[in-house]
Amino acid sequence: MNRRHRQRDLEERASIEELDALLIGNLTNVRYLCGFTGSSGALALCRGQWAFFTDGRYTKQAEMQVRGASIHIGSGPPTILAAGWIAERGKRNTARVGVEAEYTTLAIIDRIRSELRSLAPRCRYRLVPTTAIVEQLRVRKDASEVAQIRKAVRLASGVFPSLLKSIHSGIAENEVAAELEYLARRAGAERMSFETIVASGPNSALPHARPTRRKIGRGFVVLDYGVILGGYCSDMTRTIWVGRANKRAARLYSAVLEAQLAGIDAVRAGVEAQAVDAAARDVLRKYKLDKYFTHSLGHGVGLEIHEAPRLAKGQTQRLEAGMVVTIEPGVYIPGSGGVRIEDMVLVTENGCKVLTPTPKELIVR
Amino acid sequence: MNRRHRQRDLEERASIEELDALLIGNLTNVRYLCGFTGSSGALALCRGQWAFFTDGRYTKQAEMQVRGASIHIGSGPPTILAAGWIAERGKRNTARVGVEAEYTTLAIIDRIRSELRSLAPRCRYRLVPTTAIVEQLRVRKDASEVAQIRKAVRLASGVFPSLLKSIHSGIAENEVAAELEYLARRAGAERMSFETIVASGPNSALPHARPTRRKIGRGFVVLDYGVILGGYCSDMTRTIWVGRANKRAARLYSAVLEAQLAGIDAVRAGVEAQAVDAAARDVLRKYKLDKYFTHSLGHGVGLEIHEAPRLAKGQTQRLEAGMVVTIEPGVYIPGSGGVRIEDMVLVTENGCKVLTPTPKELIVR
């Protein structure tokens, strides 16, 4: 894990934005930059020096995990401790201190401001909101991250065959979800990466359905789930058919699969995110199903289940090698049923590698 | 569920703070005030009128759930839609618009400001950060909330006997956690209210241990878990002993239980939060164990697992009838083991009602 490399990249961004100091309070970003996984911590960068702040509960853990930063234990919110440290290092008349715009609340900024004022009353600090300053680094995964994501993906795919065995006509959606989460835990998952979706029959037409007490009967069952392993998320969807098969259902499924394969085919470094979405959408248009594809094609996955980039209409961000994204077209016929098929892929210079090993032929049970 | 009553209470707070409008973006607060449970929504109050904002995915759900507010479907962040609605109603030269200080980030406030400016360029808006303006209402639970909390507590306690049966020498902590979560799901839990703790042997001395692959052997096992039902959280801890019993362990357990009962005894409307913490701590001091009680005694529970009030040293907030809090003293002997016992209680005028029905005698398995 090359924490030092990540820290250098961020130092460069900070210098481009002419920041004298930078405060990182978003715990996912803190973890990414220094390795700390606890529930309370903050990082500060000030003129090339890195410092990490947490409270007494995490003394031992910080010593074991934190790399590339001095460790400071104190009481109170770690972000405020970090502001105090920056104030003590204030040497100039004015200093530009970067804060994370998407993370820092009005309540926190207020406390940061008074901490700086009270500890360094003669220095005029300017708090500068930064936009996705760490998140834009996290978009391209390094080798250790890809390895960890692969492990999470394999764990989730690994429990799929046993999950399938548990599904039969008459079992409730929430029983299937319980079964799945039990299998994932037993296989070593830290936890699920989002609320598991088990959506049967008409519920399969709701992209964000929660498992209900509905008994599974003849029809589609959408299974959308992921696990967290070593902090990294996986995300996959398979749709199966329960009961006597039916030509119309098979045609619907095969259209979505064709769209999914077209999406995967369109992935390559340099391509605009919206072009990948369009490639899948065009296939569904051919079958007059595009109006039932009501969400975007995919999203980045990493330490968080939803990260940049978004593969959606209007997204002109270009894909880069090292991005990890989902490709998940779906078709939802209101009141009837729906199909979604989702893999995770790693963007490469010339295309992509599909990370999810689970087969995609329609399974009938 | 008296949504209207909650909205009136908030209107009164807004009027005390001389706000012409109020923007609520924290989804837990949105749910509390209007009933919406989806993942994207915001509420606005402007001169006695309430409006709710979400996107197209939630049209149906909003119609079914939202009470006491007009429903507006749009695209983009709902908080910005809400700001636009407020701007369109701007009638005066200046208007004070309240925003939630603990929720609103610098990125959001920036967008709110430009939305107000572009839609109502002639009105001078002042964005006023409000502190816990909704959270302070949520502290006292109404009858429907207490009923829902009781259901969540009963569900969690209900699976405890089966959970106990799964625990034996040789089973791994994470297998017990898997078993527990499976039982909870099967019993109808929406999900766990926080990351389950199953901490055995020396791990039981870490208050925030995560389940590991450690095989349970002779010693204490701390089981700390909760479920969510109807949006409301439960939280309980029991500590059991595995293997041949031991007088020292029994004495440690009985000291913690005595402290827990003393804490419960001290709960009553009008008492300062710190006095309840002190009542439990004093018992442990008698046994020279207070230095091993390294966290605070308890916290409020409701739509969130950690809410006000905090039962801790220095907390002068007075308890009020209708608050629901945990009472959870613990003793942690580093490298050896720990004991924690936790119930949820409902504060009443003359004392409290213990909500958790699970017995507290030391169980040896």
pLDDT, tens digit, for every residue of B88-135? 887 666 789 999 999 999 999 999 999 988 888 878 889 999 999 999
**Mean pLDDT across the stretch A82-90?**
88
For residue A122, count other CB atoms closer than 10 A to its CB: 6
pLDDT, tens digit (0-9, with 9 covering 90-100), for B178-236:
999 999 999 999 989 999 999 999 999 988 888 989 999 999 999 999 999 999 999 99
pLDDT of residue A200: 97
Q: Is residue A75 less than 8 Å (CB to CB) from chain B?
A: no
pLDDT, tens digit (0-9, with 9 covering 90-100), for A327-362:
999 999 988 899 999 999 999 999 999 999 999 999
Provide the shortest C-alpha distance from residue B73 to chain A (in Å): 16
pLDDT of residue A92: 66
Residue A190 with chain B: CB contacts under 8 Å: 210
pLDDT of residue A263: 98
pLDDT of residue B235: 98
Average pLDDT, chain B: 94
Residue A203 with chain B: CB contacts under 8 Å: none
Radius of gyration of the CA atoms of chain B, in A: 23
Residue A210 with chain B: CB contacts under 8 Å: 190
pLDDT of residue B111: 94
Pair type for strands B343-348 and B324-327: antiparallel
A193 closest CA partner among A156, A221, A160, A223: A156
Q: Is residue A306 less than 8 Å (CB to CB) from chain B?
A: no
Q: Is residue A105 less than 8 Å (CB to CB) from chain B?
A: yes
Is residue B1 very low, low, confident or very high in pLDDT (cuts 50, 70, 90)? Answer: low
The beta-carbon neighbor of B105 closest among A105, A190, A208 is A105
pLDDT of residue B91: 64
Provide the shortest C-alpha distance from residue A270 to chain B (in Å): 27
pLDDT, tens digit (0-9, with 9 covering 90-100), for B266-314:
999 999 999 999 999 999 999 999 999 999 999 999 999 999 999 999 9
> Does the beta-carbon distance from A102 to B104 stay under 8 Å?
no
B361 closest CA partner among B149, B164, B162: B164
Is residue A47 very low, low, confident or very high in pLDDT (cuts 50, 70, 90)? Answer: confident
CA distance B295 to A300: 38
B294 closest CA partner among B362, B239, B340, B238: B340
Residue B295 with chain A: CB contacts under 8 Å: 57
Residue B99 with chain A: CB contacts under 8 Å: 106
Give me the total of CB pairs closer than 8 Å, taking one residue from chain A and one from chain B: 81
> Does the beta-carbon distance from B178 to A186 stay under 8 Å?
yes
The residue of chain B with its CA nearest to that of A58 is B208
Provide the shortest C-alpha distance from residue A365 to chain B (in Å): 23
**Mean pLDDT across the stretch A266-293?**
97
Buried b (16+ CB within 10 A) or exposed e, B147-185: ebbbbbbbbbbbbbeebbeebeeebbbbbbbbbbbbbbb
User: What residue type is B284 in one-letter code?
Assistant: L
Burial class (CB in 10 A: 0-12, 13-18, 19+), B12: exposed
Is residue A120 very low, low, confident or very high in pLDDT (cuts 50, 70, 90)? Answer: confident
Residue B314 with chain A: CB contacts under 8 Å: none
The beta-carbon neighbor of B106 closest among A104, A191, A295 is A104
Query: What pTM did the predictor assign?
Result: 0.90
pLDDT of residue A57: 81
> Does the beta-carbon distance from A181 to B177 stay under 8 Å?
no
B100 close to B25: Cβ distance less than 8 angstroms: yes
Burial class (CB in 10 A: 0-12, 13-18, 19+), A233: buried
Average pLDDT, chain A: 94
Residue A178 with chain B: CB contacts under 8 Å: 181-182, 185-186
Higher pLDDT, B208 or B167: B167
Percent of chain B whose predicted confidence (pLDDT) is above 90: 86
CA distance B21 to B26: 16
User: What residue type is A36 in one-letter code?
Assistant: F
pLDDT of residue A93: 65
Element housing A53 (H / E):
strand A49-54
> Does the beta-carbon distance from B105 to A110 stay under 8 Å?
no
Percent of chain A whose predicted confidence (pLDDT) is above 90: 86
Q: Does residue A121 register a pLDDT over 60?
A: yes
Q: Is residue A269 less than 8 Å (CB to CB) from chain B?
A: no
The beta-carbon neighbor of B178 closest among A39, A175, A185 is A185
Percent of chain B whose predicted confidence (pLDDT) is above 70: 98
> Does the beta-carbon distance from B181 to A177 stay under 8 Å?
no
Q: Is residue A195 less than 8 Å (CB to CB) from chain B?
A: yes
Q: Is residue A210 less than 8 Å (CB to CB) from chain B?
A: yes
Q: Is residue A102 less than 8 Å (CB to CB) from chain B?
A: yes
> Does the beta-carbon distance from A185 to B208 stay under 8 Å?
no
pLDDT, tens digit (0-9, with 9 covering 90-100), for A129-186:
999 999 999 999 999 999 999 999 999 999 999 999 999 999 999 999 999 999 999 9
**Mean pLDDT across the stretch B336-341?**
95
SS3 B53: strand
**Mean pLDDT across the stretch B16-38?**
96
Q: Which of B57, B79, B104, B105 to mutate to test the interface with A (most CBs of A within 10 A)?
A: B105
pLDDT of residue A330: 97
Q: Which of B23, B26, B61, B106 to mutate to test the interface with A (most CBs of A within 10 A)?
A: B106
Provide the shortest C-alpha distance from residue A348 to chain B (in Å): 31
> Does the beta-carbon distance from A57 to B175 stay under 8 Å?
no
Is residue A209 very low, low, confident or very high in pLDDT (cuts 50, 70, 90)? Answer: confident
CA distance B154 to A273: 48
CA distance A80 to A104: 12
Q: Is residue B210 less than 8 Å (CB to CB) from chain A?
A: yes
> Does the beta-carbon distance from A106 to B109 stay under 8 Å?
yes
> Does the beta-carbon distance from B182 to A178 stay under 8 Å?
yes
> Does the beta-carbon distance from B178 to A191 stay under 8 Å?
no
The angle formed by the CA atoms of residues A119, A125 and A131, to the nearest 5 degrees, is: 120
Residue B207 with chain A: CB contacts under 8 Å: 57
The residue of chain A with its CA nearest to that of B173 is A186
Residue A195 with chain B: CB contacts under 8 Å: 191
State the complex-level ipTM.
0.86
